Amino acid sequence: MKAIKSNLLLLLVLISLSCIVQCTDVSHDGRALIINGERRIIISGSIHYPRSTPEMWPDLIKKAKEGGLDTIETYVFWNGHEPRRREYNFEGNYDLIRFIKEIQYAGLNSILRIGPYACAEWNYGGIPAWLRKYPGMQFRTNNQQFKDEMANFTKLIVDMVAKENLLAPQGGPIILLQIENEYGNIMGPYGDAGKEYIKWAAKFAVSLNASVPWIMCQQGDAPQPMINTCNGFYCDDFTPNNPNSPKIWTENWTGWFKAWDKADPHRPAEDVAYAVARFFQRKGTTQNYYMYHGGTNFGRTTGGPYITTSYDYDAPLDEYGNLRQPKWGHLKDLHAVIKEMEKALVYGNHSNEDHGNGIEVTKYKLNTTTACFISNKDTTKDATVDLNGGKYFVPAWSVTILPDCKTEVYNTAKIKAQTNVMVKKANKAEDEPSALQWSWRLEPLKKQLEDKKFSFQSNQLLEQITTTFDESDYLWYMTSFHQPHKKQYKLSINTTGHVLYVFLNNKLVGKHEHLHLLSKERNVTVRHGKNNLALISATVGLKNYGSFYEKMPAGIAGKPVKLIDGNDTIDLSNTTWNYKVGLVSEKKKFHLDEKSSKWKSVMLPINRPFTWYKTTFEAPPGTDPVVIDTFGLGKGEAWVNGNSLGRYWPAYNDTAQGPCGHCDYRGKFTENKPCRTGCGEPAQRWYHIPRSFLKSGETNTLMLFEEAGGSPGLVEFRTVTVGTICATADKGQTLTLSCPSGGSISKIDFASYGEVKGKCGAFEKGTCESQDAFDVVSKACIGQGSCSISVSKETLGENNCGGSVPFKLAIQAAC
Ligand code: GAL
């Protein structure tokens, strides 16, 4: 007994000792998060684990750490984890615990935004559609059924991470948790029930005893001890609702999401840096990039109906995990200088001087240490500002940082990081034939049209979400009617979307793709006797945002279906409708059925809706990310070796036409600035095939379900790699250039020292350039993975420029 007692004592001593070494205490005051008794600056970035693969996670986290982040943030995706009530999925890219352990392994902190409502351009905002099975269910309000389900899932997650010792006080990486998400933005219409709900959510979160602070973003009335935080392109002017809450920026949007009907949005690196610098200038202490890596909406996870499969977000790491340069590097440089000033920023006395014309000079003073910011908010006028006897040139819409209040170390508009221009390279395996060989089979529509086995019947046109519960994108509406004689009618269908196919007497007579509510009319010929009308309504992801968003109907939803010829109208809305949920291919899992004898290899049909295509290929050699070009295809879903790449829809062009044009980083960024590219082009043409989906040295299978009709003839694989790299540096600085992933510089396309103008891809020499620069650069860089050149006449030779324009060195090279 004595031995048992002393063993127990030893264990307790060991546990508490290990805690002294490893356990992290997280609290806060009104200035900052306090970690183990010290106020800290937190620089975090969002990486959503299901939007990449477990094999990609370590590299993404490593690149985030190299980029100067100390924390990784993610939502938790409820409908991915609980696809059916009390049936859970924590496998593969939903292995939340593995993801958090990867973060821990890299030595970073983690912020877990459980929600469990996420928004995030994710299907139904992350809330499972099966919740709609319960009569009276209302999402995100004082509704007992919803609160019970939300509580069940939230507790499950907190218990799960606690069991794995992943909370900071247990020695784990999780320093903050979130309940709900931006409820304050949409709570008005919920009235008192919304207010009650938020109070309940706060109380419930606290009751979970996780021992780390909880946040509620965009929640001006967040009850204590919840910290309300800010989301947006800028949060410098934000003030939390309690003097004991630090200024936390949970979502600094590094770009914006892509939509099927819009060109590709980009947020300039200078502007992201400006927003971050302003935040720290104005006493912000914790900030998170949304997104640091956006990734891919695999499977059927896109929020609907606008969001594309790519969730690239123009983030510092691109969809495939490559560094997006110069954004990644420019922010890395900024993080380094902010971290250097950490003590002054979190403990220093803060004073601010308004110099007029948008100029603000800020000083943080801690004992003898000082750190300064000079910001110029003017959107067009550059300024020269006097500080401590020095003169500083501060371009319009920029912030200069002087960690000792004397030396300019960083300016948000002066990018020193290199630019990487990525290319999609044809990169075939050696014995890969030049053209892909396709086989095909049809979706068994005829069988479904003729089969009398229905899911159910109704005398109404039913709303789609509460009919399919999102188990499939597809819902069949089928009816029949009699006609005394053959006649032409206008068939009018009012649908809430998103895509509709019309079959009359087993023939496809119409298809409509639309993301907005539309009434569609078309001429049809109705035959004498019995006519069969069958409609397939397809959803493209469910809505993810807004008050009562879950009630936004999908499908035909009670709207009339009519045949019209002047006064002769046949209203079919309340006839007997037979319903079938899903397509045969889904139930039979065609995407896994490579061996079926139904695959044919002759007479490949083109532009035929509801056709399956299959081909085999070898994995492109190397480790560069692989993409597939879907040009020529219509709309559907693609799989590689049974893994879904997501919905593809290259037939959808940017109908909004931009705006594309000259992108000026100066002035407030909105997603509608003309900083878009790809106007008038397919919204998404390239789809990511993560390397872990591929088998190297073996045959791989690509399968396409071409729903709308297209041609697979132009489909091909490419690898994404750095093509051109560029950098510029001013006299007195050092220019560094490097090729990523073990590559080396093969060629110098351009090198000039003097009054060089233009930008990467279009540099122009000045008239007074040094004659030696090209040779010096070639010698120093060719064949090297990385090279550094100090920008001076000693290294680059004399130029004949007069000195009115600051000299610089510009290099463009190939990897
Ligand atoms: C926020 C939301 C995020 C994401 C973002 C836009 O309002 O919290 O989840 O949807 O907007 O990308």
Are residues 595 and 614 in contact, defined by beta-carbon separation less than 8 angstroms? Answer: no
Model pLDDT, residue 777: 97
Cis, bond preceding 625 (omega within 30 deg of 0): no
Where is average pLDDT lowest: 17-21, 291-295, 727-731? 17-21
Looking at ligand 1, which residue's alpha carbon is closest to its atom 4?
120
Are residues 81 and 112 in contact, defined by beta-carbon separation less than 8 angstroms? Answer: no
Pocket, ligand 1, Cβ cutoff 6 A? 118-121, 181-182, 231, 251, 257
Pick the CATH number of 2-324 from 3.40.50.2300, 3.30.565.10, 3.20.20.80, 1.10.10.10: 3.20.20.80
Q: Is the pLDDT of residue 530 over 70?
A: yes
Average pLDDT on 67-81 reads 98
Angle, helix 144-163 to helix 96-105, in steps of 10 degrees: 40
Q: Is the pLDDT of residue 21 over 80?
A: no
Closest residue by Cα to residue 302 from 677, 672, 717, 652: 652
User: Over the stretch 751-789, which tens digit does the pLDDT of each residue have?
Assistant: 999 999 999 999 999 888 988 999 999 999 999 999 999
Ranges assigned E (strand) in 641-699: 643-648, 676-677, 686-689
Average pLDDT on 37-47 reads 98
Phi-psi region of 475 (alpha: psi -120 to 50; beta: other; left: phi over 0): beta
Of the chain, the percentage scoring pLDDT greater than 70 comes to: 95
Ligand 1 atom with the smallest distance to the CA of 182 is 8
Q: Assign domain 422-443+588-649+684-720 to a CATH class.
A: mainly beta
Query: Is 251 a residue of the active site?
Result: yes
Model pLDDT, residue 557: 84
User: Over the stretch 479-523, which tens digit does the pLDDT of each residue have?
Assistant: 999 999 999 999 988 888 789 999 999 999 988 766 544 456 778
Active-site position among 182, 637, 706, 755: 182
Q: Is the pLDDT of residue 68 over 50?
A: yes
User: Over the stretch 734-749, which tens digit does the pLDDT of each residue have?
Assistant: 999 999 878 899 999 9
Q: Is the pLDDT of residue 443 over 80?
A: yes
User: Over the stretch 198-227, which tens digit does the pLDDT of each residue have?
Assistant: 999 999 999 999 999 999 999 999 999 999
Q: Is the pLDDT of residue 4 over 50?
A: no
Model pLDDT, residue 6: 53
Mean pLDDT score across all residues of the chain: 94
Ligand 1 atom with the smallest distance to the CA of 291 is 12
Q: pLDDT band for position 19 (50/70/90)?
A: low
pTM: 0.95
Ligand 1 atom with the smallest distance to the CA of 120 is 9
Model pLDDT, residue 522: 79
Domain 422-443+588-649+684-720 shares a fold with domain 445-582: yes
Of the chain, the percentage scoring pLDDT greater than 90 comes to: 86
Average pLDDT on 357-369 reads 97
Å from CA of 120 to ligand 1 middle: 5
Model pLDDT, residue 304: 84
Model pLDDT, residue 15: 47
Are residues 218 and 183 in contact, defined by beta-carbon separation less than 8 angstroms? Answer: yes
User: Over the stretch 304-330, which tens digit does the pLDDT of each residue have?
Assistant: 899 999 999 999 999 999 999 999 999
Where is average pLDDT lowest: 229-243, 462-476, 796-810? 796-810
Model pLDDT, residue 805: 63
Q: Assign domain 731-814 to a CATH class.
A: mainly beta
Q: Which residue has the tokens 């007069």?
A: 802
Domain definitions of the chain by residue range:
2-324, 422-443+588-649+684-720, 445-582, 731-814
To test the pocket of ligand 1, the residue of 47, 48, 119 to mutate (highest count of ligand atoms within 8 Å of its CB) is 119
What is the CATH code for 445-582? 2.60.120.260
Query: Is 149 a residue of the active site?
Result: no
